[in-house]
Amino acid sequence: MPAKIIDGTKVAAEIRSEAAVIVREVAGAWGRPRLVAVMVGDASAARAYAASQRKQCDLVGIEYRLQELRAETSAVDLCGQIDALNADRAVRGIMVHLPLPAGIDPAEIQLRIDRHKDVEGVNPANIGMMFYGEPVIAPCTALAVMALLRESGVRIEGAEAVVVGHSNIAGKPVGLLLLNEMATVTVCHVATRELAGHTRRADILVVAVGKAGLIGPGMVKPGAVVIDVGINRVREVDGQGKPQERIVGDVAFEAVREVAGAISPVPGGVGAVTTAVLLRNTAEAARRQVVRMRQ
Ligand code: NAP
């Protein structure tokens, strides 16, 4: 029987509803929470993401401001902008669109964001709390993966979980969150020998690499829950011989669907949920700031 499709659109709508409830609570006394997204230069993927953020913020009542800076902006200037946003009492959440121009170290900028306003969960202080098993704000993509796992109904405690990819924004935090929920976690990367030997053991397989078709059906344990984080643009030729572009994940979806127990699609999986998590993180950050101001 083909795998159950884990519906990211539905999960995203539920998370947005949670965010909207918090926003209403905060807005009553302190006005709509404001999220400022900083974009340096003009990357088309970041622009598309910003447009989607604005639309979704409107849905839940968060005020979204995109602060666009010239591609020539220096690291010093960008740090100055972040400092100003940190000090601005009207701003509840700050996020920085990647990629940044060459010469600006994203880690330096992420360290600069006030941890209480760091709604992407990328400041080392927030990452550290995740390490202690008490995340205050965790990275959005990792939380999106966990939300999809919950939707799948899989029992995480005691499960063999394999994460492919060890980036700071996806693979590593997913591994930590799974460990915090008592899965037995293996994290694979570019130096892993015999990747399939690991993935075939997984009850839960999370793939965050950025290589279309990396995971085929022979690499998946029958009945496993597969979460595909990858976003890849592939060029194909349609039935009429016309070239076209399509977005796919890292998992060969149709073939793996015949083996897995549940699978998240691309699009309509992790990506759909990630932005909703950003809004919930913003709403929760706003609520915590309001509580701190009252104390
Ligand atoms: P990244 O920083 O490039 O990391 C990719 C990871 O995959 C690295 O840890 C890399 O290892 C590892 N890797 C590369 N080739 C491998 C192989 N053959 N076998 C095993 N591991 C391999 O990318 P990222 O930012 O984590 O993003 C990964 C993918 O997820 C991309 O397609 C991205 O667009 C997508 N993404 C989606 C969302 C979402 O919300 N849906 C969010 C973030 C990212 P080394 O570092 O050792 O080379």
Query: Going by CA atoms, what residue is nearest to atom 42 of ligand 1?
Result: 141
What is the model's pLDDT at position 46?
A: 87
Q: Please say whether the beta carbons of 34 and 91 come within 8 A.
A: yes
pLDDT tens column, 232-254: 999 989 889 999 999 999 999 99
**pLDDT (mean) for 250-277:** 97
Q: How far apart are CA 101 and CA 123, in angstroms?
A: 19
Report the range of poorest mean pLDDT among 159-168, 232-241, 270-279.
Answer: 232-241
pTM, two decimal places: 0.96
Which H or E run contains 129?
Answer: helix 124-131
Percentage above 90 pLDDT, the chain: 91
Question: CB-based burial of residue 295 (10 Å sphere; 0-12 exposed, 13-18 middle, 19+ buried)?
Answer: exposed
Rounded distance from Cα 292 to ligand 1 centre (Å): 37
Extract the tokens encoding 285. 């950050």
Ligand 1 contact via 271 beta carbon (within 6 Å)? yes
Ligand 1 contact via 209 beta carbon (within 6 Å)? yes
Extract the tokens encoding 185. 């976690």
Ligand 1 contact via 193 beta carbon (within 6 Å)? no
**pLDDT (mean) for 265-289:** 97
What is the model's pLDDT at position 239?
A: 85
Q: Please say whether the beta carbons of 60 and 283 come within 8 A.
A: yes
pLDDT tens column, 8-41: 999 999 999 999 999 999 998 889 999 999 999 9
Ligand 1 contact via 190 beta carbon (within 6 Å)? yes
From edge to edge, which strands make up the β-sheet containing 160-164?
4-5, 262-263, 225-228, 204-207, 160-164, 184-188
